[in-house]
Amino acid sequence: MKLLSKVYNFLVFGFLYAPIAVMIVYSFNSEKSRTNFGSFSFRWYQELFNDDIILKSLYVSLLVAVLSALAATLIGTLAAVGIDSMKAPLKRAYLMVNNIPVVNPDIVTAVSMMILFVFVITRINGLNMGFGTLLIAHITFNIPYVILSVLPKLRGMNSNIYDAALDLGCPPLKSFMKVVVPEILPGIITGFIMAFTLSLDDFVISYFNSGSTAQTLPVTIYSMTKRPYSPKINALSTLLFISVMLLLVVVNIRQSAGVKKDKKTIKKEVR
């Protein structure tokens, strides 16, 4: 039984990693073939770093991830403080709306925002789909996750500390920054990292809302899969895999709980 379970685990993990291993191996192929392995070379890595479209979309991806995560963290953290002090019926209404983008399939969220953007754009001259709509879309699907990671910290906080600071003559804003923010900081940081990674990973919502001027990396990868085979994708994937692995190892060593797991628990709680 023990052996059986070991073999089974090995097979499942093999299934999870085999495609990634194949990609890594073929990223070093000197030939442009999915099956024949010529000799070991860095040819596709060189071509990758000379591909302006890929580099530009990587820049767009990083920029939109940083900006949308910052904006979502700011708007979300402030709102969480307000929502936390609301009375039950209003609070429930807020949380229900907050959950719409979390629960809806990506394609529905994407399509609904696209309809709004097109609706406005066709009525006002000079507007177009582009970086602006992309950023708005990303902020929109990021905010709920910030709320959901900050709210539990506020709930677990002793509100008397804040009142005590006020009673001792500390002005409200200063009390908030010195007393409340340090208490909920772990939630804020989790929310920010979650928003950043969600934004970086998103394809569907960017695909519908970016137009042709501001393509993110996943959108560019998608258009590459439609063209004839290019091992550049393998090289790119290998680099992404290695950076994710290094990041995970570092995070895992520094603290036991991963952010992605938090995200899953939040999704679970919501549903």
Partner 1 sequence: MNKNGFGKKLVTAPYTLWMVIFVVVPIALVIYYAFTDADGGFTFENMTYIFEYGKTFLVSIELALISTAICLVMAYPVAYGISRFEARRQQTMIMLVMLPMWMNFLIRTYAWMTILEGNGLINRALRYFGSDGFGMINTEGAVVLGMVYNFLPYMILPIYTVLTKIDVSTIEAAKDLGAGRRNVFRRVLLPMSVPGIISGITMVFVPAVSTFVISKLLGGGKTFLIGDIIENYFLGNTGMINYNIGASLSLVLMVLILISMTVMNHFDKDAGEGEGVLVG
Angle between helices 181-201 and 131-155 (to 10 degrees): 140
- Contacting range for partner 1; rule: CB under 8 A; set: 38-46, 47-55, 185-193, 234-242: 234-242
Give whichever of 22 and 53 is closer to partner 1, judged by the CB atom.
Answer: 22
Q: Measuring CA to CA, which residue among 161, 206, 200 is closest to residue 181? A: 161
- Footprint (CB under 8 A) of partner 1, residues 171-210: 172, 197, 201, 203-204, 207-208
Residue 153 has a CB neighbour count (10 Å cut-off) of 20
CA torsion angle 112 117 119 122 (round to 10): -150
Which residue in 85, 126, 182, 227 binds partner 1 (CB under 8 A)?
85
Q: How far is the CB of 247 from partner 1 (least distance, A)?
A: 8
- Footprint (CB under 8 A) of partner 1, residues 98-137: 98, 100-101, 103-108, 111-116, 118-119, 136-137
Which residue in 79, 121, 170, 189 binds partner 1 (CB under 8 A)?
79
- Residue 50's SS3 state is coil
Give whichever of 63 and 270 is closer to partner 1, judged by the CB atom.
Answer: 270
Tokens of 233: 């994708």
Tokens of 149: 């990671």
Q: How far is the CB of 59 from partner 1 (least distance, A)?
A: 17
Spatial distance between the Cα atoms of 245 and 227, rounded to a whole number of angstroms: 29
- Residue 29's SS3 state is strand
Tokens of 57: 């979309």
Q: By CB under 8 A, how many residues form the interface with partner 1?
A: 84
Q: How far is the CB of 97 from partner 1 (least distance, A)?
A: 5
Residue 209 CA from chain centroid, whole number = 16
Which residue in 53, 240, 246, 250 binds partner 1 (CB under 8 A)?
240
- Footprint (CB under 8 A) of partner 1, residues 36-65: none
Is position 225 an interface residue for partner 1 (rule: CB under 8 A)? yes
Tokens of 265: 């628990």
- Footprint (CB under 8 A) of partner 1, residues 145-174: 147, 159, 162-163, 166, 172
Angle between helices 2-27 and 232-254 (to 10 degrees): 130
- Contacting range for partner 1; rule: CB under 8 A; set: 38-46, 49-57, 62-70, 94-102: 94-102
Give whichever of 63 and 111 is closer to partner 1, judged by the CB atom.
Answer: 111
Tokens of 7: 């073999």
Q: How far is the CB of 40 from partner 1 (least distance, A)?
A: 18
**Locate tokens 């890595």: which residue?**
45
